[in-house]
């Protein structure tokens, strides 16, 4: 099966599993698990950094699959912080060349980070996916992950 089809199926599966679920961490955990399993080993770390309601200019680690993640990331710092500050997907072929990159795990070499907005259009979290491969993510991943993140809190 091609990746576009895999993403379409994952989106439908995630929507079905989280439908009616009101506990947001359960939604994030479900998405992280299904994505990590579908694309392992290319997806080395898959998870969410959530906007901290007590510190709205910081992300705090949420549900994830993989090695130990950073606990907190300020908006504007690193790839996740850039995504949070700009509200736009960050597709990075070589994280070591990204200004201000935060190395939570030195084995990560490329990364894609997608914003997650709530039903009111406010940033709620970012989906962070790391790979040990350089250039592991492309437009297919971006479109697939953005489609999943668009419905994650509204399905």
- Could you tell me if 96 and 132 are in contact, meaning their C-beta atoms sit under 8 angstroms apart? no
Give CA angle at 24 (88, 118), nearest 5°. Answer: 40
Residue-averaged pLDDT of the chain: 95
User: What is the structure's pLDDT at 1?
Assistant: 66
User: In the predicted model, is pLDDT for residue 105 greater than 90?
Assistant: no
User: What is the structure's pLDDT at 76?
Assistant: 96
- Whole-Å CA distances, 137 to 22, 83, 94: 31, 16, 10
Q: Is 120 left (phi over 0), alpha (psi -120 to 50) or beta?
A: alpha
pTM for the model stands at 0.96
- As a whole number of angstroms, the distance between CA 69 and CA 85 comes to 20
- Could you tell me if 112 and 35 are in contact, meaning their C-beta atoms sit under 8 angstroms apart? no
What's CA 84's distance to the chain center, in Å? Answer: 11
């Amino acid at each position: 099966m091609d990746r576009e089809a895999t993403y379409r199926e994952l989106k439908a599966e995630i929507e079905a599993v989280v439908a009616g679920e009101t506990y947001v961490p359960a939604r994030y955990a479900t998405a992280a698990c299904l994505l990590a399993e579908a694309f392992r080993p290319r997806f080395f770390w898959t998870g969410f950094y959530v906007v901290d309601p007590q510190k709205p200019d910081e992300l705090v680690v949420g549900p994830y699959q993989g090695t130990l993640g950073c606990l907190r990331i300020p908006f504007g710092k690193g790839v996740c912080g850039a995504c949070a500050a700009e509200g736009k997907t960050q597709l990075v072929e070589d994280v070591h060349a990204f200004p201000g990159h935060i190395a939570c795990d030195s084995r990560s070499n490329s990364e894609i980070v997608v914003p997650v907005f709530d039903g009111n259009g406010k940033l709620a979290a970012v989906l962070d996916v790391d790979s040990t491969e350089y250039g592991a993510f492309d437009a297919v991943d971006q479109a697939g992950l953005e489609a999943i993140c668009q419905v994650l809190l509204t399905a």
